[in-house]
Amino acid sequence: IAVVFVLCEVRSGSPYKAMWEKIVSLVPALSENLKFIMADYEKATITVMNQQFSNASIHSCWFHYLQ
């Protein structure tokens, strides 16, 4: 089980893209083996994760939806 927590002040896609590219460079098998992602409702985050991990099922947190 791999877990990543990220706190980011910027809400654009470029920091998220750079972060995931770095993580995948350290763990190349992650691109094919990642099956489930839990994230908040940040559009940029979801967009980048859909591009980077097309095989993963992305779910959003109910807590963040209610905010």
Q: pLDDT for 31-61, tens place per residue?
A: 888 899 888 878 888 899 999 998 999 988 7
Return the structure tokens found at 13.
């896609």
Mean pLDDT of the chain: 84
With residue 39 as reference, give the H or E element that holds it: strand 36-39
In angstroms, how far is the first alpha carbon of the chain from the final one? 28
Question: What is this structure's pTM?
Answer: 0.71
Please say whether the dihedral angle defined by the alpha carbons of residues 22, 62, 60 and 16, taken in this order, is positive or negative: negative
Q: What is the pLDDT of residue 18?
A: 92
Q: What is the pLDDT of residue 26?
A: 92
By the 10 Å C-beta count (0-12 exposed, 13-18 middle, 19+ buried), 53 is classed as buried
